[in-house]
Copies of this chain bind each other. A is one copy, B any other.
Amino acid sequence: MSTCIDPSAIPEEAPPDPVRPHHHGNLKSALIDASIDLLNADGPSGLTLRKAAARAGVSHAAPAHHFAGLADLLTAVATRAFELFTTAMRHARQDAGENARARLEGICTGYIRFANEHAGLFHVMFLSADVDRSDPHFLRTSEAAYAELRLACLPFSRVAPDPDQTLEIAVWSLVHGYAVLGFGAPWRKGIGPTPPSDFRDLLDRILASHTMPD
The answer for the CA separation of A201 and B181 in the assembled complex, in Å, is 22
Q: Which of B133, B139, B177, B209 is within 8 Å of A205, CB to CB?
A: B209
List A155-203 residues whose CB lies under 8 Å from chain B: 164-170, 172-178, 180-181, 187-193, 195-197, 201-202
Answer yes or no: A110 CB below 8 A from chain B CBs: no
* Consensus secondary structure, chain A interface: helix
A197 CB contact (under 8 Å) in B134, B164, B196: B164
- Give the interface segment out of A10-18, A84-92, A94-102, A123-131: A123-131
Number of copies: 2
Set of chain B residues within 8 Å of A188, measured between Cβ atoms: 129, 133
Which of chain B's residues have a CB closer than 8 A to the CB of A178?
Answer: 169, 173, 177
Which of A123, A168, A187 gathers most chain B CB within 10 Å? A187
Once the chains bind, are A191 and B133 in contact (CB under 8 Å)? yes
The reply on A63 being an interface residue by CB < 8 A is no
**A106, CB-defined interface residue at 8 Å:** no
Given A126-B180, A129-B123, A176-B181: A169 touches B196 (CB 8 Å cut-off): yes
Q: Which residues of chain B have C-beta atoms less than 8 A from A126's C-beta?
A: 180, 191
A206 touches B (CB below 8 Å): yes
A5 at the interface (CB under 8 A from B): no
- Residues from chain B with a CB closer than 8 A to the CB of A193 are 146, 165, 168-169
* B129 contacts A187, C-beta separation under 8 Å: yes
Given known A177-B172, A191-B133, contact A166–B209 (CB-CB < 8 A)? no
How long is the Cα–Cα vector from A178 to B152 in the complex, in angstroms?
19
Known: A139-B190, A173-B202. 8 other contacts (CB 8 A): A164-B201, A165-B193, A169-B195, A170-B202, A172-B192, A173-B173, A176-B180, A177-B178
25 A–B contacts from the bound complex (CB under 8 Å): A45-B129, A123-B127, A126-B180, A129-B187, A130-B187, A133-B189, A134-B189, A146-B193, A165-B196, A166-B196, A166-B205, A167-B205, A169-B178, A169-B193, A170-B205, A172-B192, A173-B175, A173-B176, A173-B177, A175-B177, A177-B177, A204-B209, A205-B206, A206-B206, A208-B208
